[in-house]
Chains A and B, each alone.
Chain A
Amino acid sequence: QSVLTQPPSASGTPGQRVTISCSGSSSNIGTNYVYWYRQLPGTAPRLVIYRNNERPSGVPDRFSGSKSGTSASLAISGPRSEDEADYYCAAWDGSLSAVIFGGGTKLTVL
């Protein structure tokens, strides 16, 4: 079981706003930055959000991140078919002295 908890699946239509949650604790999300990765089938993960809510260059602005207390969320406004992928949250855990990942959420675009 992962230290960061994500729902196993999420879905939405291109006209909706889809949100994926990530729940942690005071030793990880509560005190450190949250990162989000998108992994298309058969490919390496790609960073889509860093430092809670920043977008790397080249990531569409339909992706946004937020953090409150010991939880974080990734939102995708108007998901496209190419956004169908697994999404992972990640953070440094000060108690474990390690990078930890959530279990991943599979996004389906209906």
Chain B
Amino acid sequence: QLQLQESGPGLVKPSETLSLICAVSGGSISSNLYYWGWIRQPPGKGLEWIGGISYTGNTYYKSSLKSRVTISADTSKNEFSLKLTSMTAADAAVYYCGTGQHLDYFDYWGQGTLVTVSA
């Protein structure tokens, strides 16, 4: 059974870059069975897809975030990461990593990590 665990800073200053890692266990991120993605949820609000990466390394980003987002994979560590630049208060959210057999859904999720943006 796949297990995902997010890690990263809980507090980021405005204009700085958020870096999060999703550690994967119970399966290989280089497996051709899965796509890997990031989703966020502002406090009290709904879910927002940020983007994803395929087992071939192809990346897919939400258009409104594309200029600020980078998703990459480290097969040696069996983890994938999210970098989001120029953070503002609007980026404060619980960030989840997830995986599914296709890019358009997630059947395994991490527990989520809360990111606050404040000076």
Query: Can you name 27 A-B pairs with beta carbons within 8 Å?
Result: A2-B46, A33-B104, A35-B104, A43-B111, A44-B109, A44-B110, A44-B112, A45-B96, A45-B109, A46-B109, A47-B100, A47-B105, A47-B106, A47-B107, A50-B107, A90-B105, A91-B104, A92-B103, A96-B62, A97-B63, A99-B37, A99-B49, A99-B52, A99-B105, A101-B47, A101-B49, A104-B47
Within 8 A of A (CB), among B68-119: 96, 100, 103-107, 109-112
Count of chain A residues near B, Cβ 8 A: 25
Docked Cα-Cα span, A60 to B103, in Å, equals 25
B60 at interface, CB cutoff 8 A = yes
Whether, in the assembled complex, B48 has its beta carbon less than 8 Å from a beta carbon of chain A, the answer is yes
Do A99 and B103 have beta carbons less than 8 Å apart?
yes
- Which A residues are in CB contact (< 8 Å) with B37? 99
Q: How far is the CB of B63 from the nearest CB of chain A, in Å? A: 6
Q: Which 5 A-B pairs give the minimum distances between C-beta atoms?
A: A99-B49, A92-B104, A44-B109, A101-B47, A35-B105
How far is it, in angstroms, between the C-alpha of A101 and the C-alpha of B104 when the chains are bound? 11
Query: B108 → chain A, closest Cβ, in Å?
Result: 9
B32 to chain A, nearest CB (A): 19
Q: Does A110 contact B (CB under 8 A)?
A: no
B38 CB to closest chain A CB, in angstroms?
Answer: 11
In the bound complex, how far is the Cα of B48 from the Cα of A102, in angstroms?
9
**Chain B residues with a Cβ closer than 8 Å to the other chain, count:** 20
Instruction: Give the distance to chain B from A73, nearest Cβ to Cβ, in Å.
Output: 17
Bound Cα distance from A47 to B2, whole angstroms:
14
Contacts of A104 in B (CB 8 A): 46-47
Which residues of the partner chain A approach B105 to less than 8 Å between Cβ atoms? 33, 35, 47, 50, 90, 99
User: What is the bound-complex CA distance between A100 and B111, given in angstroms?
Assistant: 20
Residues of B within 8 A of A46 (CB): 109
